[in-house]
Amino acid sequence: MKWYYERASQQAGPVSESELDALIASGEVRMETLLWREGMAGWEPMSVARPPADRSTFAPPPPPTPPPTPPPTPSLAPAVGAAGGILEGLNPYAIPQADLRGVEVAVERDGPAWERRAEIGWVTAGFETVKAVLLEPSATFARMKREGGIGSPFLFQLILGSLGGLASVFYQMLLSLISTKGTGRFEVVVGLGVYAVMMPLLVAAGAFVGSGIYHLVLLMFGTKQPFEATFRTVCYTGGAVAVLQLVPGCGSLVAGGWALVCYCIGFSRVHALTIGRAVVVVLLPLLLCCAMVGLIAAGVGFFAART
Amino acid sequence: MWRRLKPGELDHEVVWLGVSLACAALAFAWVGFGLPGPSCVFHKVTGWPCLTCGSTRCVRLLLQGAFGGAFRMNPFFFTCLVGVAVFDVYAVVVLLGRLPRWRPERVPLWLRWILLAALLVNWAWLVVAGV
């Protein structure tokens, strides 16, 4: 008898009974992990599908029945070519994909460290959160609270995003001053100064507008999670990668790329999407609004171009 | 569906009214200081307008009061801005009147297809009009 199990919001398997016992013993499969085998109507947690009392005896396998087809899920995913989705839908005997969207896998969500800054200190909490998001995004977003107010993540993004943005402006100002002569320098300083003063407002507006756009796309893909979940993902990612802008030169470029990767992983873990769908969600607004990619760069680069 | 906010629920009317007003103020400041608009990478590489080309010019024309020109620059984006204005009016009304809020259960399938179709029709318009 072959078993399929849920791992990181994806279908894994098939594994034999003895392999499943080994996974249970190692802790990879727990009581709340969803399981499916031939004969079951749908995915069930292990506590129901294969309770501990049943493991020592093996009931005769039920007569083979065709696996249930997954329930139709209206969404625009096939229209935008989500990876593998179209081909799976054509095979009536395909193993049912676990519809894990909205299924709350029992993981304690209490993070990240920034949420506990009153206990451990602002600097420690900020440092731990940046490190966790940049180096362990999958585990971090798996444990991130989906709800609990927008104040904490917004503050994180506002502080670090503004610092990173100001660092970018400062480096651009240095470059412009080196290459500008005479009264042109004053114009460069004034222009970039205006941009620097507007930076916190730009970061704040960007956090909400960006989250809003991503959440609209996620709604098109049928997410059941609230806007707060998206906002938290965007803010913790944005704040963490903004630290990379402190590196002169390539810092901003690396920050942009790293942010896209973290968004994909974050939306996958928070909204229980496959990685393929998460990638489409992240790239779609960029493809639609490619001019917006240059908005911030234009504001800074304009002054360099005038030198 | 129309309902009251649950305790601790995010007040979207306050949030998005604030965000839209802040963005409007930013837009005024951006244009007022003569900061440059973005250039479209897609247009530079292919010579064709992207789906949102003309949005910045639409905003500039709107700030000058040229509504007809703003609509022709990017009809979909102009309609979105009108939608934001309508939402702001709704938000002010429900906040001042402490009225129930509109909270849809989910985005209906027909609305998703209409939005996709509108995006594509808008893109076709941008190409034909040479925006």
Q: How confident is the model at residue A160, as a pLDDT?
A: 94
pLDDT in tens, B47-86: 777 777 888 888 888 888 889 988 988 898 899 999 999 9
The domain ranges of chain B are 2-129
Residues of B in contact with A294 (CB under 8 A): 38-41
Contact A201 B22 (CB under 8 A): yes
Whether residue A291 and residue B112 make contact (CB cut-off 8 A), yes or no, is no
ipTM above 0.90, yes or no: no
Q: Give the one of B12, B40, B107 whose C-beta lies nearest to A220's C-beta.
A: B107
Smallest CA–CA distance, residue A75 to chain B, in Å, is 7
A25-58 pLDDT, tens digit each: 888 888 888 888 887 877 888 887 887 655 544 4
Say which residue, A257 or A78, is predicted with more confidence: A257
Q: What is the pLDDT of residue A263?
A: 93
Report DSSP state, residue B6.
P
List of chain A residues whose C-beta atoms are within 8 Å of the C-beta of residue B42: 290-291
| Model pTM score | 0.66
Q: What is the pLDDT of residues B4-13, one digit of tens each?
A: 888 778 889 9
Quick check: B116 and A79 CB within 8 A?
Answer: yes
Top residue of B103, B106, B112, B123 to mutate, by most chain A CBs within 10 Å, is B112
A8 to chain B, any CB pair closer than 8 A? The answer is: no
